[in-house]
Amino acid sequence: MELVVQFQVLNQSCQCLAWKPCPVVAWGAESQHVVAGYSDGTIRVFSVSRTEMELKMHPHAVAVTAVAYSTDGEMILSGSKDGLVAVSSPRTGMTIRILADHKGSPITVLQCTRKQYHDFGVEGGELWLTTSSDRRVSVWASDWLKNKCELLDWLSFPAPDSPKGLDILPPSLAAFCPWEPGTLVYVGFGMQKEALFYSLRKKQVVEKISLPYFATALSLSPAARFMAVGFGERLLRLLRCPASDPQDYAGHDDTVHLCRFAPSGRCLLTASHSAVLVWELTG
């Protein structure tokens, strides 16, 4: 539990980051890269093993709010405060595509998953989703080597006109469900406080899980049917899916704004204003 490496960028705030996916071979020092998005619209790639910045790109005119690697690590997807999504190559440093479908609303989530085109009748070896703060989610099928990118689905979630008792709207968050292929989970400000499971094949919501408050953080375990949800009420809820008796945990000093399962599923990391907690899942 000690600080190993630290990267500092002066006069800019880091808004988001993502690890480069591990190659199929054993984890090696050469694969330890992280990409970070900054308030000036730049993204930077850092080598952890060499403790240096390898690449700086400037695909956005405003702050970068979400960033993700493609599943093979060959492309970087970044989303900005103005709703634009850029696809950039870390090999060449060039931005090869700009998507304006969410223009006007900050991007809150970008996530990629490996899927074959025949799963949904479209061409591409990868699915990815982007979510914006206006409660819209788009799902895409891509083959970056062939420069192909096709819109697979577009979701819009309704919400009341005038939120009562909410000074700041909770974020719109979505994630692919690891244990239900072709399904994504969505939480956000809406008509009800709930998590929605949406099937890309059936084009409909197939399950709803009630929540005590509007969610501020979401993570799905890659190793078991567990979902972690954070709330502005300093609460963390752990759910086994299908919905069972939830387990609630206190301990945060403020809004739980981040939760992430480890790839093994045995640990859960959560963060609030001035605290980072690591939870161990037992049994």
Strands (E) in 85-167, as ranges, are: 85-88, 95-99, 107-114, 126-132, 136-143, 148-156
Q: What is the pLDDT of residues 247-277, one digit of tens each?
A: 999 989 899 999 999 989 999 999 999 899 9
Domain ranges, residue 15: 7-21+32-121+130-137
The Cα–Cα gap between 219 and 227 comes to 6
- Tell me: do 195 and 259 sit in the same domain: yes
CATH number at residue 105: 2.130.10.10
User: Does residue 227 fall inside a structural domain?
Assistant: yes
DSSP per-residue codes, 20-62: PPPPSSPP-GGG-EEEEEETTS-EEEEETTTTEEEEEE---SS
Q: For position 62, what pLDDT does the model report?
A: 98
Whether 28 contacts 20, CB under 8 Å: no
Q: What is the pLDDT of residues 29-67, one digit of tens each?
A: 456 899 999 999 999 999 998 899 999 999 999 999 999
Q: pLDDT of the chain along its 283 residues, tens only?
A: 788 899 999 999 999 999 999 765 555 445 689 999 999 999 999 999 889 999 999 999 999 999 999 999 999 999 999 999 999 999 999 999 999 999 999 999 999 998 766 677 777 789 999 999 999 999 999 998 888 899 999 999 999 887 776 778 899 999 999 999 899 999 999 999 999 999 999 999 999 999 999 999 999 999 999 999 999 999 999 999 887 789 999 989 899 999 999 989 999 999 999 899 999 998 6
User: Does residue 107 fall inside a structural domain?
Assistant: yes
Q: For position 144, what pLDDT does the model report?
A: 87
- Tell me: do 77 and 182 sit in the same domain: no
In the listed set 106, 137, 168, which residue is the last one of a domain according to the structure? 137
- Token pair 């989703």 is found at 129
In the listed set 137, 171, 190, which residue is the last one of a domain according to the structure? 137
The Cα–Cα gap between 94 and 44 comes to 13
Q: For position 26, what pLDDT does the model report?
A: 52
- Tell me: do 166 and 113 sit in the same domain: no
User: Does residue 150 fall inside a structural domain?
Assistant: no
User: Does residue 98 fall inside a structural domain?
Assistant: yes
Question: What φ, ψ does residue 213 adopt, rounded to 5°?
Answer: -145, 175
User: Does residue 216 fall inside a structural domain?
Assistant: yes
Distances from the Cα of 166 to the Cαs of 58, 156, 169, 170, 271, in angstroms?
35, 21, 6, 8, 21
- Tell me: do 67 and 175 sit in the same domain: no
Q: How many domains does the chain have?
A: 2
pTM over 0.85: yes
The Cα–Cα gap between 70 and 112 comes to 6
Q: For position 98, what pLDDT does the model report?
A: 96
Q: For position 122, what pLDDT does the model report?
A: 75
How big is the chain, counted in residues? Answer: 283
Q: For position 31, what pLDDT does the model report?
A: 60
Whether 128 contacts 54, CB under 8 Å: no
Q: For position 29, what pLDDT does the model report?
A: 47
Whether 270 contacts 217, CB under 8 Å: yes
The Cα–Cα gap between 263 and 180 comes to 17
User: Does residue 148 fall inside a structural domain?
Assistant: no
